[in-house]
Structure 1
Amino acid sequence: MKISVFGAGYVGLVAAACFAESGNSVIAVDVDQKKIEGLKNGIIPIYEPGLKELILRNQAEGRLSFTTDMVEAVEQSLIQFIAVGTPPGEDGSADLQYVLSVGRTIGRHMNGFKIIVDKSTVPVGTADKVRLAVQEELEKRASHLEFDVVSNPEFLKEGAAIDDFMQPDRVVIGTDNVRTAEIMKELYDPFMRKQNRLIIMDIRSAEMTKYAANAMLATRISFMNQIANLCERMGADVAAVREGIGSDSRIGYDFLFPGPGYGGSCFPKDVKALIRTAEECNYDFLLLKAVEEANERQKEVLADKLIKALGSGDKEGPLAGRTIACWGLSFKPRTDDMREAPSLTIIERLLAAGAVVRAHDPEALTEAKKLFGDRIEYSSNQYDILNNADALTVITDWHEYRNPDFERIKGLLKQPLIVDGRNLYKLDRMQEMEIRYIPLGRAGNGISETN
């Protein structure tokens, strides 16, 4: 099939590369000339395992191309995927200006029947707005060309997006048109060879499904973080609690690890957008408001623990004269994405408390330098930042951090203190190594976490 993907960001690039890999002819479109020129020359603007290789292979074989020419993309393709950003507005609602702009462009230049697919995460009712935008442009042309608008939300995990696309848990298609449903089934058939996981539903239900899924996962994360905080106060072990509740088949183990809060481009934005959508319907979504508040509080926890462990009454700040080494900056491993990352809140708190902050991340250092500039120190070696530091704090659970050289850590730190926001290390090992260890929701062997 001939496909155009509008938006060469995270979702758009993954979709374009994977559709091309399954044999389709794909044009990826973006208004950013520099980005498109870079892509033509094999420069991938994001880090995602396997994506670069996929793009280069399909470019070389002529199935994938990049352009800023939106007219060409509209005219040459049957299926038009909209994968542009929907950033949150000041009130938390999704900003649809880029989505609707693409819709209007398609309406101005379409030359035959088109299937317009909302791949961006958009609120319920967006397909109706896109349809109206396209129709208005057709009316200006006095054109009666047919088109259909489909909701096809993405369910990609950063760091595993290629696998998620090629072997999906499910593919949701929202359409009321039988003919369009059959075309979309044909498009996704190569990804259904092991098991048919394609679900056809009405458009508004498909739009809601994306938000509901992310809101549910965000709720599980915040719930487990709250349980971890309570475990500290009650003398319970959150790792044991997780094993106990996760063994219930109705609950399972996924998204039940405590941590410093969720971040990234999806969960914070989508929770806010769903709360705003509810408000527009005069519904007070109390649960999601609590999830959002709990998550913001959780981002303060690691800094609070460091201040409690090392703080002084210094008027320059409780951590004045202290150096803190941070392992992990991206919001999750296997990505360089720092949008809404807990590290942003944690590091700002440490700086405000007077600390010198050093940071390491396998992929996100370039992005961190854009955000923090010279206010913190950086190193591409995870051990270099430990030299004569007062503490190590683990923020992101990269594999590189899971089994480090503890003897080396002890030798480099001023004092053997680890504040672990991901509970990566075993309590008995830390005790054996005589490392003062402060995890989340566990007894540890450091300071009391009770109030």
Structure 2
Amino acid sequence: EPGLDALVADNVRQERLAFTTNLAEAVAGADAVFIAVGTPSRRGDGFADLSYVYQAARDIAGAVTGPTVVVTKSTVPVGTGDEVERIVRETRPGIAIAVASNPEFLREGAAIADFKRPDRIVIGADDPPAAAVVSELYRPLYLNHAPILVTSRRTAELTKYAANAFLATKITFINEIADLCEQVGADVQEVARGIGLDNRIGRKFLHAGPGYGGSCFPKDTLALVKTAQDAGSPVRLVETVVAVNDQRKRAMARKVVAACGGSVRGRRRRGVGPVLFRAIDSPTHEN
């Protein structure tokens, strides 16, 4: 992340940032504690693995010393906050622990800039005092005119998945158009520019390529599909996006093999250019 090392060093030097592996020390007297752990796809069914989230909730509840707001920063399916709330209350029934959702919308490669000047801040809480605590944490950003949406916990949880699914859909759309361009002799880059100049559409995520990848889009689209199926309201468009993206990656792999004369056996792989997260594109991980 550009600028991260300097930012961390500066805040450590000014004693505004500290690190510890002692959970009790970390949460003592805290008004809010954030859960920011991974939610990888569960093997076998593609649903989000929430074991890390739930374990973190148990550990936090066991360590807090007074009223606290536990804030889920991780990307989690709708209703996860309800289970986190059940866990913390069961673990520490004598302490007032509220649960809120505050999904992150940072782009890898531009996380610092996105945090300082976010498009929006989403806070989900069913307890008004808890919402007030989290909102106060973001007051400096509000002074930078960052829109803050305070909503229900379940709405906040779904907002994150819906946002990622929409961006994945946008990537998949331009890839489908790229295939059509190849057949009819059109230039997909010019098509993307032509539609991207429409403010209702925008230019971002209109870059034809091997399909979306990275640490978020594949698992989040799949988790949304599974959540919707479990709720009896399948998101058929997102299901199609997942299927088309998988086909796109396989098709690109076949093109690479064909370009190598029909076989890559025994060939050494070499990437062209740096493998980095780019601020305007989806990451290449899992492509």
Name the TM-score, length of structure 1 as normaliser.
0.60
Task: Name the amino acid aligned to 1:118.
Answer: T
**1:299 match: secondary structure:** helix
> What CA distance in whole angstroms lies between the structure 2 residues aligned with 1:320 and 1:280?
42
Residue aligning to 2:257: 307
**1:84 match: secondary structure:** coil
Residue aligning to 2:138: 188
Is the CA contact 2:212–2:284 (under 8 Å) kept in the aligned structure 1? no
Deviations 1:409-434 (A, max 9, x none): xxxxxxxxxxxxxxxxxxxxxxxxxx
Matched, 1:168 2:118: yes
Residue aligning to 2:75: 121
The one of the two structures with greater contact order (alpha-carbon pairs below 8 A, sep at least 6) is 2
**Cα–Cα, structure 1 residues 325 and 102, in superposed 2: closer, same or farther, change >3 Å?**
closer
Q: Which structure carries more strand by proportion?
A: 1
Q: Within 5 Å, give how 1:371-410 maps onto structure 2.
A: none
**Cα–Cα, structure 1 residues 277 and 321, in superposed 2: closer, same or farther, change >3 Å?**
closer
**1:87 match: secondary structure:** coil
Q: Within 5 Å, give how 1:203-282 maps onto structure 2.
A: 203-282=153-232
Is the CA contact 1:49–1:159 (under 8 Å) kept in the aligned structure 2? yes
**1:64 match: secondary structure:** coil
Residue aligning to 1:154: 104
Structure 2 unaligned runs (5+)?
A: none
Matched, 1:54 2:4: no
Please, which moves more after superposition, 127-136 or 325-334?
325-334
Matched, 1:68 2:21: yes
> What CA distance in whole angstroms lies between the structure 2 residues aligned with 1:94 and 1:216?
18
Task: Name the amino acid aligned to 2:5.
Answer: K
Number of positions where the alignment pairs a residue of Structure 1 with one of Structure 2: 284
Displacement after TM superposition at 1:114 (Å): 0.1
Task: Name the amino acid aligned to 2:247.
Answer: R
State the identity as a percent.
Answer: 46
**1:200 match: secondary structure:** strand
> What CA distance in whole angstroms lies between the structure 1 residues aligned with 2:37 and 2:102?
13
Is the CA contact 2:210–2:248 (under 8 Å) kept in the aligned structure 1? yes
Is the CA contact 1:331–1:341 (under 8 Å) kept in the aligned structure 2? no
> What CA distance in whole angstroms lies between the structure 2 residues aligned with 1:271 and 1:340?
15
Among 286, 289, 301, the alignment partner of 2:239 is 289
Residue aligning to 2:286: 341
**Cα–Cα, structure 1 residues 71 and 247, in superposed 2: closer, same or farther, change >3 Å?**
same
> What CA distance in whole angstroms lies between the structure 2 residues aligned with 1:108 and 1:323?
51
Displacement after TM superposition at 1:319 (Å): 4.4
Task: Name the amino acid aligned to 1:157.
Answer: R
Larger Rg: 1
Is the CA contact 2:39–2:49 (under 8 Å) kept in the aligned structure 1? yes
**1:116 match: secondary structure:** strand
**Cα–Cα, structure 1 residues 103 and 249, in superposed 2: closer, same or farther, change >3 Å?**
same
**Cα–Cα, structure 1 residues 322 and 127, in superposed 2: closer, same or farther, change >3 Å?**
closer
- Compute the RMSD of aligned alpha carbons: 2.1
Task: Name the amino acid aligned to 1:69.
Answer: N
Displacement after TM superposition at 1:331 (Å): 6.3
Displacement after TM superposition at 1:328 (Å): 4.5
**1:67 match: secondary structure:** coil
Is the CA contact 1:78–1:113 (under 8 Å) kept in the aligned structure 2? yes
Task: Name the amino acid aligned to 1:57.
Answer: D
Deviations 1:423-448 (A, max 9, x none): xxxxxxxxxxxxxxxxxxxxxxxxxx
Displacement after TM superposition at 1:221 (Å): 0.2
> What CA distance in whole angstroms lies between the structure 2 residues aligned with 1:306 and 1:155?
33
Displacement after TM superposition at 1:329 (Å): 6.5
> What CA distance in whole angstroms lies between the structure 1 residues aligned with 2:273 and 2:175?
19
> What CA distance in whole angstroms lies between the structure 1 residues aligned with 2:63 and 2:256?
58
Matched, 1:298 2:248: yes
> What CA distance in whole angstroms lies between the structure 1 residues aligned with 2:265 and 2:105?
44
Is the CA contact 2:277–2:284 (under 8 Å) kept in the aligned structure 1? no
> What CA distance in whole angstroms lies between the structure 1 residues aligned with 2:201 and 2:146?
24
Matched, 1:327 2:281: no
Task: Name the amino acid aligned to 1:247.
Answer: L
Among 100, 118, 128, the alignment partner of 2:54 is 100
